Amino acid sequence: MNSALISKIEKAKRYAEERDRVTFVQFTARFRGDNDYHTVSFQDGRWHCTCHFFASWNICSHTMALQRILGEMLPAEAAAEPAP
């Protein structure tokens, strides 16, 4: 294998362990909930989900699950769960 490519693969392995290097700016995800699929999106520091709960609370189990999954890869203001 080309040595330049080998070094890039090694760098990628190291980067993958250093998640604070990555900050999501926007994305859309399809979320398989217990009862239905929902579309969760994140843009301009704000969450959105197509589920009914989110419409009333501006937060839901789907957005909170993604906060846990993505953790430090979210901007700080978008990563915190509300206090119960």
Residues of this chain that bind Zn ion (CB under 5 A): 38, 49, 51, 54, 60, 62
Q: State the minimum distance, in angstroms, from the CB of residue 75 to Zn ion.
A: 20
Quick one: 53 exposed, middle or buried, by C-beta within 10 A (0-12, 13-18, 19+)? middle
Toward Zn ion, which CB reaches closer, 2 or 56? 56
> Quick one: tokens of 20?
């604070």
Q: Give the whole-angstrom CA distance, residue 82 versus residue 9.
A: 38
Nearer CB in complex with Zn ion: 14/30: 30
The least CB distance from residue 40 to Zn ion, in Å, is 6
The nearer residue to Zn ion, 42 or 54, going by C-beta atoms, is 54
The residues that bridge with 38 in the sheet, in sequence order, are 31
User: In the complex, what is the shortest distance from the CB of residue 10 to Zn ion, in angstroms, rounded to a whole number?
Assistant: 39
